[in-house]
Structure 1
Amino acid sequence: MSPAARFRALPLRSRLALLVTVAVAVAVAGVAVVSWFMVRTQLKGQLDSSLRSTNASAQANQTLPQLGCREQVPGAIVNNLSAQVQIVLPTGGRCWVDGKNTLPVTGYDLEVARGERGPVLYDGHTTDGTPVRVYTQPVNVTGPVGGSVAISVAKPLADIDKPLSTLAWVLLFVCGVGVVGAGAAGLWVARTGLRPVDELTGAVEHIARTEDLTVQIPHDGDDEIARLSRSFNSMTAALASSQERQAQLIADAGHELRTPLTSLRTNIELLARSEETGRAIPPEDRKELLASVKAQMTELAALIGDLQELSRPDAAPPARLEVVALHEIAQSALSRARLRGPELDFASDLEPWYVRGEAAALERAVVNVLDNAVKFSPPGGSVEVSLRAGELTVRDHGPGVPADDLPHVFERFWRSPSARALPGSGLGLSIVARTAQRAGGTAELRAPADGGPGTEALLRIPGAPAPPPAGRPDPAEAGRPSVVPDQ
Structure 2
Amino acid sequence: MSRPTGREPRRLTRWWRRRSLRTRLTVIAATAIAVSVFMAFQVASELLDWELRDTAEDQLRADSRVLATDATRAGLAQVQLPPYPGSGRLVRVILPDGSTRTPAGQPALPPVSEHAGRVAQGASADLMESNDIDEDGYLIYTLRAGDGAVQVARVANDSPINRFGFGMLLIGLLCVVGGALVGRTVARAGLAPIDRLTAAAVRVAHTQDLDAHIPDEGGGEIRRLIQSINDMLAALRDSRRAQKLLAEDAAHELKTPLTSLRLNVELLIRLDRRGTLDSALPAESRTRLLNDLGAQVAELSTLAAELTDLARGAVTDESTDLLDLADVVVAAATRARSRVPDIEVALDVTSVWVSGRPAALQRAVLNLIDNAGKWSPADQPVQVRLRAEGATAVLEVDDAGPGIDAADVPRVFDRFYRADSARALPGSGLGLSIVQRVADAHGGRATVARSARGGALLRFDLPAAAPPGRITRPTAGS
TM-score range, shorter chain: 0.7 to 0.9
Within the candidate set 22, 27, 40, 2:31 is matched to: 22
Q: 1:283 to 1:369 in 2, by over 3 A?
A: same
Within the candidate set 423, 444, 447, 2:446 is matched to: 444
Give CA deviations for 1:133-179 in whole Å, capped at 9, x if unaligned.
2222223x3xxxxx3x3222223433xx3332332222112101100
Equivalent residue runs for 1:202-213 within 5 Å: 202-213=199-210
Within the candidate set 39, 42, 45, 2:51 is matched to: 42
User: Aligned partners of 2:73, 2:324: CA distance in 1, in Å?
Assistant: 124
1:59 and 2:67 correspond: yes
TM-score with structure 1 length normalisation? Answer: 0.81
Q: Specify the SS of the correspondent of 1:423.
A: coil
1:394 and 2:397 correspond: yes
After alignment, is 185-194 or 291-300 more displaced?
Answer: 185-194
1:237 and 2:234 correspond: yes
Q: Specify the SS of the correspondent of 2:55.
A: helix
After alignment, is 383-392 or 173-182 more displaced?
Answer: 383-392
Q: How many residues align?
A: 453
Q: Specify the SS of the correspondent of 1:103.
A: coil
TM-score with structure 2 length normalisation? Answer: 0.82
Q: Specify the SS of the correspondent of 1:271.
A: helix
Q: 1:465 to 1:184 in 2, by over 3 A?
A: closer
Report runs of 4+ in structure 1 exceeding 6 Å deviation. 70-74, 339-345
RMSD across aligned positions (CA): 3.5
User: Aligned partners of 1:233, 1:393: CA distance in 2, in Å?
Assistant: 41
Contact 1:69 1:94 in 2 (8 A): no
Equivalent residue runs for 1:56-455 within 5 Å: 56-63=64-71, 66=74, 69=77, 75=83, 83-96=89-102, 100-101=106-107, 103-104=109-110, 105-124=112-131, 130-139=136-145, 141=146, 147=147, 149-158=148-157, 161-277=158-274, 278=276, 279-312=279-312, 314-318=314-318, 324-337=323-336, 346-377=345-376, 380-381=379-380, 383-389=382-388, 390-401=393-404, 405-438=408-441, 440-448=442-450, 453-455=454-456
Give CA deviations for 1:157-214 in whole Å, capped at 9, x if unaligned.
33xx333233222211210110000111121122222222222332333233332222
AA of the residue aligned to 1:187: R
User: Aligned partners of 2:40, 2:260: CA distance in 1, in Å?
Assistant: 89
Unaligned stretches of 5+ in structure 1?
142-146, 474-487
User: Aligned partners of 2:192, 2:232: CA distance in 1, in Å?
Assistant: 20
Q: 1:103 to 1:408 in 2, by over 3 A?
A: farther
AA of the residue aligned to 2:92: Q
Equivalent residue runs for 1:463-474 within 5 Å: 468=468
Q: Which residue of 1 aligns with 2:476?
A: none
Q: Specify the SS of the correspondent of 1:213.
A: coil
Contact 1:444 1:458 in 2 (8 A): yes
User: Aligned partners of 2:142, 2:451: CA distance in 1, in Å?
Assistant: 112
What is the CA distance between 1:58 and its match in structure 2? 4.3
Give CA deviations for 1:355-412 in whole Å, capped at 9, x if unaligned.
4544443322111011122234456555332111232111234444456654543333
Q: Which residue of 2 aligns with 1:485?
A: none
Contact 1:88 1:94 in 2 (8 A): yes
User: Aligned partners of 2:385, 2:466: CA distance in 1, in Å?
Assistant: 14
Unaligned stretches of 5+ in structure 2?
1-7, 472-478
Q: Specify the SS of the correspondent of 1:391.
A: strand
Q: 1:72 to 1:196 in 2, by over 3 A?
A: same
AA of the residue aligned to 2:118: E
User: Aligned partners of 2:342, 2:74: CA distance in 1, in Å?
Assistant: 148
User: Aligned partners of 2:341, 2:135: CA distance in 1, in Å?
Assistant: 124
User: Aligned partners of 1:311, 1:70: CA distance in 2, in Å?
Assistant: 117
